Structure 1
Amino acid sequence: MNTAPLPAPVLARLARLSPAPEGLTLLRSALHARRLLLLKALLVRVHRHRASVEPGALGRFERAWELLERVERRHPTVVRDVLDYPTTGAWLAGALAEPAGPAFDGLLGHLDNLAVTAALRGGGPLDLTVETPDGLLSLPGVGRLRVAADRVRISAGERTVRFHPDGTRHAAPAVLTLTGRRHGVLTGRGPGWRAVRPLPRSAARLDDLDPYRVPSGAGGGTVVIAADPADTDHAAWSATWRAAQDLLGRTDPGRAAEVARGVRAVVPVVPCGPRHLGATLSAAPGAVLTSLPAEGQGMAETLVHELHHSKLATLHELAPLYGPGRDAVHRVGWRSDPRPIAGVLHGAYAHLALADLWRRAVTAEGVPTAWRSAAGQQFDDIHDQVGGALRILLESDELTVSGRQFVLHMKLHHASLGATPLVAG
């Protein structure tokens, strides 16, 4: 992605963990530009190699593209929101990496889901039939409909959407209603319909339904498995999210606001042994993959940690911070396995954010005593580990000019955190 150099003050503020809204706004613009670039790359690939695409899949892809363009002319904000949803990035990455064949043709069908979601959120008349593999119609960020058919006709008026399995005249009991035209908010009811639930006081959703919420191969060396939607305790997730937001609000209001704005999807995953698991996909910034923490403290730490992985992934696409991967690997304090320079930088940035959070927790008023005590101990450990990682980064020749400047500002922030002793209240 070719872009103009980042202004030095913006790079510095991001490196020093500033939660100021303008940083997140810039990263969101970069994310959207990246999504458009990848979507255009997929279109170019399909057109250049159309002879290798099954004719039915090709026709559906082209019709979905035309629908998306029509909706974009009338409702650009809605289309942008759908394209920028985290799982759209995971789908695009998977589709572009898949070799030609039936699996690739199947992946192309997801554009139908994106276009239909945008059209329904935009409102207005719509009458079309789409394929429903495995009897499922997925509307990213909205919900999922299960039907006993391989295709479904969708008929929509200004505010009401009805589904007709196999194109029959009789509508299925499930109905969607456009309740918030300004932001394209859809609500549903009826048998076969499951909604993606919103999380309190934020733009985030608890997404346990999207087919691309945990793509195969997610998590790198850690096995990440999507939790079964039947096991999702929505009340427990909402309560833990609310507790985390309250805790962040007392500890660092700016960070709490950044989390509320920056995290768009929380994806329940299966725990890894006795400890809860948190992960981020570089192709899906804004999604936090996590098992349910035991309490708000664990959720707060996971959200801050994973959000900074998302921020760095988006920033690296905008202004590359390191060069292509090499064979060199390095030992860091928070991992038992050696890490490439990209892993060292990602880990250092996310753990620097935790160190910042823990330092604030020690002195903030209204923080539970148990967390205050644990935060002081965790800060001491992670502060030293991040310091070691920063030395590795600054000795490396794999960083770009922007990357070296970024790490130098990280080092300044790291030093400021340890400038005075911690005093536990």
Structure 2
Amino acid sequence: MSGYHRLRPADLDALAAGPGGAHLVCTLRAGQVSKRMLHLRAVLDLADPAATSAYFALLTAAVRRDPAVGPDLLALPHTGAWLAVTLRRLRQRADTPTMSATAGRTTAGLALPSEPDRPAEVDLGYLGALAATAAIRAGLDFELPLPAPDGAVFLPSLGRARCGGVGPVTVSRSGDRVRVGPVEIPSPVDDLPAGAGGDRDGWSGLHRLTSSADGLGVELWLDDLDPYRDCHRLCASGRLDAAVVGRWQRMLDDAWPILVRHHRGHAEAISEGLRTVVPLQADSASAGVNVTSMDAFGAVSMTPPADGTALALGLLHEFQHAKLGAAIDIEPLHDAADRRYYYAPWRDDPRPLGAALHGVYAFVAVTEFWRTQRTVLPPGRSRLAEVEFARWRDRVARTCADIRAYGRLTAAGRRFVAGLGEVIDGWRDEVVPAEAAALAREAADDHWTVWRMRNRRPEARLVRQLAETWLAGVGCPAITVPVAVRPADGRWLSRSPRLDLVRLRLADPARFERLRSGTERLADALPEASAGDLALAAGDHLAARAWYQRQLRQQPDHLAAWVGLTLADARLPADEKAVHADPELCRAVLCAVAESTAVPDPLALARWLAPVTCVPAADGPRQVGPTPVRSVAAQDRS
């Protein structure tokens, strides 16, 4: 367990080619266990020995009794999250004598103070909880006092005891009897049934989900208890009731056969390496959130998926991130000093090299998923799969090419990215229907327009100069305006009502027509969509542009209206186009003009700005992308 870990060239090739295999997942997990051993040693070195000695002594005794429990507990996903959080806080304390207080937060069913406020003994108490769990599993009799935030004690991989009160609680084992304060844990703890963990007599067990298809099974904790599970602070769900757990189980039963029968290699890797799903609270501002922490290998956090297909894709996608993060811990693939920003068509914010590489790897698997699904779904349901395959094949190829051209990669990284490129190139000439190729381009244009309007900033001094010139009633000067990439505040994964309407048009044409005709209210179907979005999705680009044009005269800074107007204008015949300048410049100048007078016609201003040339700003991180990539449709096969 303490030896060196290496990834051979063949391992990198297998990882780039796709799932990597169960054996490689075992190698990656072993690397994570060793990493966590180092983190635990660092925690013990930095913490007050008086706060950790009893915990570590019990953990050591349990491992002597049963050597397997040490690696098993270190491999738990949120052991890694706890170590990362605790090590960061101990280092902050060492560097900062005083820290300001902030409001508390609630997570995992325990009211934990926010990090600067939280007493060190609360974080270090998790080590005691791990030691107690190890002793229970090793069959060792013991007594150990543990802190009980909010009157509760969580035992990793087992569950949570609700003891009440505010002081420490003693966890003990005597023979077959395990108690947490006044609460007795159901026995045997190693053989709890699958399904809802249940709340009884002060005890809440972890929920377990299981499924099997064609001889391959998967077993997952549905974790709504661990105090360190909310790695990204994305509102992890509180305690789930049996009905919600049942819905997750039914979705897994729908998802698992899809993975096993059509994506077997990924299913084998997931079966070997994924241990925990953390449910997140649903958020109407996004189409769903799936996220993986690089500190919690083996766990994925996600909002409730729409159906089994969405869950299958979410698990496949997120486990790609987990594998790559664990691989980079063993074999660095890029230079952390790379300061370029990369455009990634799956995010609304600029991405550094490491994040862009992660995205390419995950979306190669997403592309592969839709490539297969389009061949196994019946004709009426395959249209969306065709569009998704065409969209991600072309977009992933573009970002992968950017990384190969500009990224500061290690030798291993160059080999890995070259392997990804080979996979993508193997799909390049596969034919998709012309309609699917066209819709894929529309989706790509939509995302790029949102991204540039959010993150590209024309130089403020020249924007003011152009606004003053417009107000003076003279012609627009043919000047050059530097545009810097400045990541926008707010959500980094936003929902596109325009793309939602396109998906609805594909998946349910009858309902889309009801929205068009007015027999069903748009506000009931998609509250965030506008009449302009509906016209754009239906291909009535002139009507869509006119609607956005009116909207901008009322709200000149309205991002969605600027995106819609830009897209609608770009799809009109050349002699009807009005936006010949960069749309982010048009938006900035219109807002500047509106500060001094009534909002002018945005199309008139856009025509006036045509002589201006926008160029990347010389200062700040360099933006890479986008680069056009050929899309192969049925009509251009020759």
Write the distance in 1 (CA, Å) between the matches of 2:199 and 2:69: 22
SS state at 2:170 partner: strand
Alignment check: 8 A CA contact 2:51 2:121 kept: no
Show the counterpart of 1:396: 406
1:286 aligns with 2:277: no
In our comparison, the structure showing a higher alpha carbon Rg is 2
TM-score after normalising by structure 2: 0.58
What code does the residue aligned with 1:80 have? Answer: P
Aligned match of 1:153? 170
Structure 2 residue aligned with 1:54: none
Q: State the one-letter code of the partner of 2:410.
A: T
Residues 125-204 of structure 1 correspond to what in structure 2 (within 5 A)?
125-149=141-165, 150-165=167-182, 172=183, 174-178=184-188, 180=190, 190-201=200-211, 202-204=218-220
Q: Is the 8 A contact 1:141 1:207 kept in 2?
A: no
Which residue of structure 2 aligns with residue 28 of structure 1?
Answer: 29
Shift of 1:368: 6.0
Q: Match for residue 39 of structure 1?
A: 40
Alignment-derived partner of residue 106 in structure 1: 122
Give yes or no for the alignment of 1:82 onto 2:73: yes
Q: Tell me how far 1:157 sits from its aligned partner.
A: 3.3
Deviation (angstroms), 1:318? 0.4
The answer on 1:277 being equivalent to 2:289 is: yes
Matches within 5 A, 1:16-415: 16-46=17-47, 50=48, 58-98=49-89, 99-100=92-93, 103-149=119-165, 150-165=167-182, 172=183, 174-178=184-188, 180=190, 190-201=200-211, 202-215=218-231, 218=232, 224-230=234-240, 233-272=244-283, 273-364=285-376, 367=377, 372-415=382-425
C-alpha spacing 1:4/1:211, structure 2 compared with 1 (3 Å) = closer
SS of equivalent to 2:228: coil
| 3-state SS in 2 of match to 1:267 | strand
Q: What is residue 589 of structure 2 aligned with on the other side?
A: none
Q: Deviations over 1:220-276 (max 9, x none)?
A: xxx611112146711011111221112212222222222222211100112232521
For residue 301 of structure 1, report the CA deviation from its aligned partner.
0.8
What's the offset of the Cα at 1:152?
Answer: 2.4
> Is the contact made by 1:268 and 1:290 (CA closer than 8 Å) also made in structure 2?
yes
Q: Identify if the C-alpha distance between structure 1 residues 369 and 26 changes in structure 2 by more than 3 Å, giving closer, same or farther.
A: farther
Unmatched 5+ residue regions in structure 2? 98-117, 192-196, 212-217, 437-638
Deviations, residues 324-367 of structure 1 (Å, cap 9, x unaligned): 24432011222222110011100000000111111122224xx4
Matched residue SS, 1:243: helix
Query: For the Cα contact (< 8 Å) 2:160–2:225, is it kept in 1?
Result: yes
Contact 1:328 1:340 in 2 (8 A): yes
RMSD (Å) for aligned C-alpha atoms: 2.4
Alpha-carbon distance between aligned partners in 2 of 1:255 and 1:235, rounded to the nearest angstrom: 25
* Structure 1 residue 290: Cα displacement: 0.2
Greater relative contact order (CA < 8 Å, ≥ 6 in sequence) = 1
Corresponding residue of 1:55: none
Deviations 1:42-101 (A, max 9, x none): 11222xxx4xxxxxxx43411111111111122222221111111111111111111228
Distance in 1, Cα, partners of 2:380 & 2:34: 44
Where 1:245 maps in the other structure, the secondary structure is helix
SS of 2:322 mapped into structure 1: helix
More displaced stretch, 76-85 vs 301-310? 76-85
Distance in structure 1 (CA, Å) of the matches to 2:337 and 2:201 = 49
Distance 1:3 1:386 in 2: 34
Question: What CA distance in whole angstroms lies between the structure 1 residues aligned with 2:80 and 2:382?
Answer: 37
Q: Secondary structure at the match of 1:293?
A: coil
TM-aligned CA distance change 1:293 to 1:62, over 3 Å: same
Q: Taking every aligned residue pair, what percent have the same amino acid on both sides?
A: 30
Q: Secondary structure at the match of 2:181?
A: strand
In the superposition, relative to structure 1, how do residues 93 and 163 fare at CA in structure 2: closer, same or farther (>3 Å)?
Answer: closer
CA distance in 2, matches of 1:397, 1:416: 22
Answer with 189-198 or 136-145: which moved more: 189-198
**Once the 2 structures are TM-superposed, how far is the Cα of residue 4 of structure 1 from its aligned partner?**
5.8
Q: Return the offset for 1:147.
A: 0.6
The residue identity in structure 1 corresponding to 2:335 is G
| Native 8 Å contact 2:158 2:189 kept in 1 | no
What is the CA–CA distance in structure 1 between the aligned matches of 2:341 and 2:128, rounded to whole Å? 42
